[in-house]
Chains A and B, each alone.
Chain A
Amino acid sequence: MDSPSPHADSGPPTGAKPYTSLFTAGVRRTIFFGLVFTINLVAGIWLFDLYDRLGLHKAHGLILGLFLLLNGLLTLGTMHAFIGVWDFIRGRRRAICITDLAKSQTGPLTQKHVVVMPVYNEDIVKVCGRVEAIYRSIEAAGQLDAFDFYILSDTTDLNCWVEEEVAWTNMCRRLDGFGKIYYRRRRKNENRKAGNIGDFVRNWGGHYEAMVVLDADSLMDGGDIVKLARTMELYPRLGILQTPPKLIRGGSVFTRMQQFAMRLYGPLFIRGLNYWQLNSGSYWGHNAIIRVRPFSEFCELPALPGREPFGGRILSHDFVEAALMVREGWEVWLAWDIVGTYEEAPPTLVDHLKRDRRWCQGNLQHMWLVFARKFPLPSRVHLFMGIMAYLGSPLWFLFLLFGTYVAWDRHKSGLSDLPVVSRFVEWLDKLATWVSQWPSLQPVSTELRHLRDLALKMAPNDQALILMGLVVVMLFLPKILALIGAVLHGPTRRSFGGAIPLILGVFMEMVLSMFMAPAIMIAHTFMILGMVMGASVSWGNQTRETDGTGWGEAVSVHGPAFIAGVAWTALALWIGPSFALWMSPILIGMLLSIPMSVLTSRVRYGQALKSKKLFSIPEEISPPEIMTLADQAQAAVDAALTAKAPGREGVIAAVVDPYVNGVHVSLLDASDPDEDHAELAEKMLKEGAAALKKDELANILYHGPSVLAMHRAVWSRPFDALHSSWGKAVESYRIRTEPDAV
């Protein structure tokens, strides 16, 4: 189950012992997966027994198979929370925590580290605000000398590109960060984010021991970053150290609900995950620190067999990179105790599903890697869990479909639900008889017979209810446990706004997430069907802010769920009211998917909830310093250097504005003038930037002499010899720029 021994030539330094022994890891994993297996087996036997009593149907085999798989996943998730609770109860001192190594360590870091922020058509002012906050936070921790910062742009929007250059320059001016904070734009964004990070590692990685990889919406406390770096320095076997980011800044009901759920229940799941994964953890793509050299050596992603969507380039790189690292003997840990680690979530259900489309394809590609050689079992489990996060939806859909069919068939055939003797009863009887052979186990035998008598009296409906009860317990008990823990613990209770908002919040979250689940299930099912039909995903930038989903968009996204809901409800009612009642949580979710998606996307409703402290999180009630720093950061905005002024935004500013032009040209490689570029430049001057194709425009913007020549031309030529956009831009400078104007 554990990772193979590190190779002397390619693995971590020899002599450094693993942080946890093989024995401890083996025991913990056996306990965890043993519990999952046992619970799932018992539930499976219980369901088989129920079907058996009702009269076996050919479809029951399929349903039972699906149930074992789906219930196994549910049990797996729930056991994370239960084990997490147990780990919490045992206390901090007895929990395994890799960053304990850095406890009470002081003094300067001895190696050079880097914070990298990949961006792709983002709001760069906000991105730079986050970078500034992290910069200042590390500075406050007294370790700024040990860090460099890189903004790694894969931006395809050319206006955004210029805005990024300007924002970065302003940030560096304000922080005196030239030579410390770097900006780089890739001309071709091959292999998406993984390619972006890979390109950085290839070109500059040699300068650094480890890199803190962020997302454009990530925010991390400087003190915690220093702690991660220190742990890296102190433990040479460590390849990746992942932190559990919390969701923040939710505005809409949907995001607020997500951040509340993640904040309240997340720590239990995280502790549970750490319980078994230990040194064979996973990487979630951001808010993690990675040792650069082994990353460069082992983590370049291989191409998968065939073409996209299932083959080709790996879309979701993080799990694979962690698995490759673990395969080579490096340890990958989850720093569950790091609290100052944040990210933002898509604001609406529709945006969430758009992101899921990308992740779905990426995770399903991992099917190949489940069959890769030398991957340790924990890595395969991570990959499998990722796959099932999406494949689970069509399987649930099939499960419900088959269940409906059986109910319909039974209704049509007029068969009654009369109980017959349960095989479970027979098994209990046999077990009791077998146990009674040992006199010392007589009480056990008596108890088993007592249980048998109870089961004998049980009607199938009771048996079904017990099974349903088990599923409900596994679904909701972790939430209830988290709620109880939070209510009983004063500081936690207060940090969420008090007991009443906490209880109401959990109740609302359970109801809303239950009713949203069917819409997500249908959407995932369609995603996977689309992939099976050969549709591959393109790389879209993530919406991080919006005023909500329009009704038209909601209808187009959730239309299939609604139509399926109408048809299914009619069928369920025809089969019988009791079946419709059993199915009601699913059917109501489908029927309400459109209004649910729209209403939960509205920021004004989210704000109304916020005013009542509903779905509030500690970071909202008492913002941590890093969030305050990010809110205060204005480094990227300066009236003296802007590419957002009306009439001269982005590309126009790069040509017209003397300073923006200076920034842009200074960042380009030196090149000689040539005729091709001169022709394009002339066309751009006469017909405007919009007259050029995107690649032509990009081509000319990469050519320093042309950009300089155009700068001179727009200022020197008569306006009637130029496109009107240039004249307007030049004219805009006749209005005096006030120092505070933006």
Chain B
Amino acid sequence: MGQPDHSLAALRPLNEGELVEWEEAYVAVEAYLGALRIRNRLLVAELVRGILWRASARHAQEPGVSVRSLAMDETLKEIAEWTKQVLAEPLQQGRLAARGRLALLLTDMPGQWQSVFLTPEPWPPAFVEAMRKSYLSAGPQFAALTMTPRPLELNAIGSGAAQWWETMDRRPVVRKMFFFFLIVLIVAGLWFIFGPDIKLPR
């Protein structure tokens, strides 16, 4: 963690291009802290300064890596490490980092504990307790019941219709023939009803 008494003198002197690079890194880290809803400008400035100090130290070792990338790497790493310490949990594939971020939210870090964020131990016990309780529960233990569909038992009419229906589904020719027959039947019926000789003897 960057300490307040560390000066950024190690960065200097910077040429114009380097200044732009560090400016971009500053903006990225500041935006990320903004994304974490840390609103106090003084805190944000202090945190950014500390993170950039660490990034500058790494930049000396890794000159090929962009400053912004180093700064954001430091930011994410620092938050993850700090969360790990607060939660007293090991990191697993970065998932804890995600859950840690979530714990910060659930603890209402942006509202109540901004001043504690990324500070070294000791932390207020209430904060630590709240963080540790804030693991997200995605669901309770499974309690399985079986739901197996029972076959539909149709009576004689239903079974006959089902057999015929499935046959039509399997054989489109049969279906076409059936519909053709049905249409003929309807036309014949209509002709019988509406055709000539409309009066029935009383």
Chain A residues with CB under 8 Å of chain B are 55-59, 61-62, 148, 169, 173, 178-179, 182-184, 198, 201-207, 292-293, 296-307, 310-311, 324, 368-374, 405, 409, 413, 420, 639-641, 656-659, 661-667, 670, 672-673, 704-705, 708, 712, 715-718, 730-731, 733-739
Given contacts A305-B162, A371-B157, A667-B136, are A705 and B94 in contact (CB under 8 A)? Answer: yes
From B27, B32, B168, give the contact of A306 (CB < 8 A).
Answer: B168
Q: Does B200 lie within 8 Å of A640, measured CB to CB?
A: no
Chain A residues near B93: list those with CB within 8 A. 670, 672-673, 704-705, 708
Across the interface, A659 reaches (CB within 8 A) one of B24, B97, B101, B143, namely: B101
- Residue B12 interfacial (CB < 8 Å): no
Task: State whether A58 touches B31 (Cβ < 8 A).
Answer: no
| A206-B144, A666-B98 known; A55 vs B202 contact (CB < 8 Å) | yes
Q: In the complex, which residue of chain A has the Cβ closest to the Cβ of B98?
A: A665
Instruction: Indicate if B60 sits at the interface (CB-CB under 8 A).
Output: no
Taking a contact as CB atoms under 8 Å apart, the answer to whether A302 and B150 are in contact is yes
Min CB–CB distance B28 → chain A (angstroms): 6
Give the residues in chain A near B32, CB-CB below 8 Å.
658, 715, 733
A179 touches B145 (CB 8 A): no
Contact yes or no, A656 B147, CB < 8 A: no
Task: Say whether B158 contacts A739, CB under 8 Å.
Answer: no
Minimum Cβ distance to chain B for residue A580 (Å): 21
Q: Which residues of B contact A664 (CB under 8 A)?
A: 98
A731, B35: Cα distance in complex, Å:
10
Q: In the complex, which residue of chain B has the Cβ closest to the Cβ of A708?
A: B94
Contacts A58-B194, A293-B145, A666-B102 known; list 9 others, CB within 8 Å. Answer: A169-B105, A299-B147, A302-B150, A304-B152, A306-B162, A307-B169, A666-B98, A704-B98, A734-B27
> At the interface, yes or no: B90 with Cβ under 8 Å from chain A?
no
Q: Name 28 A/B residue pairs within 8 A (Cβ), A-sorted.
A: A58-B193, A58-B194, A59-B194, A61-B193, A179-B137, A202-B147, A203-B142, A204-B143, A206-B144, A207-B143, A306-B162, A306-B165, A306-B166, A306-B168, A371-B157, A374-B153, A640-B111, A659-B36, A659-B104, A662-B101, A670-B95, A672-B93, A673-B93, A712-B76, A718-B24, A718-B68, A737-B37, A739-B39
B window 128-167: CB within 8 A of A: 136-140, 142-155, 157-158, 161-163, 165-166
Partner of B202 from A56, A179, A657 at Cβ < 8 Å: A56
- Give complex CA distance A428, B180 in Å: 47
What is the CA–CA distance of A296 and B109 in the complex, to the nearest angstrom?
Answer: 43
- How many of chain B's residues have a CB under 8 angstroms from any CB in A? 69
For B146, list chain A residues within 8 Å (CB): 202, 296-297
Assembly CA distance A666 to B39 (angstroms):
25
Residues of chain B within 8 A of A659, CB atoms compared = 35-37, 101-102, 104-105
Residues in A with CB closer than 8 Å to B92 are 670
* Chain A: CB-nearest residue to B148: A300
CB < 8 Å neighbour of B39 from A203, A730, A737: A737
1/0 contact string of B52-77 vs chain A (CB within 8 Å) = 00000000000000101100110110
- In angstroms, Cα B45 to Cα A265, docked, is 66
The 3 closest A-B pairs by CB, nearest first: A371-B158, A206-B143, A305-B162
Smallest Cβ-Cβ distance to A302: which chain B residue: B152
Quick one: CB contact mask for B72-103 with A, threshold 8 Å, 1 for yes? 11011000000000000000111101111110
Check if A666 sits within 8 Å of B99, measured CB to CB: yes
B127 to chain A, nearest CB (A): 16
Cα A704 to Cα B93 with chains together (Å): 9
List which B150-202 residues lie within 8 A (CB) of chain A. Answer: 150-155, 157-158, 161-163, 165-166, 168-169, 192-194, 198-200, 202
Cross-chain contact A202 with B152 (CB below 8 angstroms):
no
Q: In the complex the two chains form, what is the Cα distance from A311 to B152 in whole Å?
A: 12
Chain A residues, CB < 8 A from B157: 371
Q: How far is the CA of A201 from the CA of B27 in the complex (A)?
A: 50
**CB atoms of B30 and A734 under 8 A apart:** yes
Task: Check if A59 sits within 8 Å of B193, measured CB to CB.
Answer: yes
Residue in contact with A736 in the complex, picked from B34, B69, B158, B200, CB distance below 8 Å: B34
**B150, closest chain A residue (CB):** A302
CA distance A369 to B150 in the complex (A): 13
A55 to B155 alpha-carbon distance, docked (Å): 42
Q: How far is the CB of A177 from chain B (nearest CB, A)?
A: 10
A59: chain B residues at CB < 8 Å are 193-194
Closest Cβ neighbor of A57 among chain B residues = B198
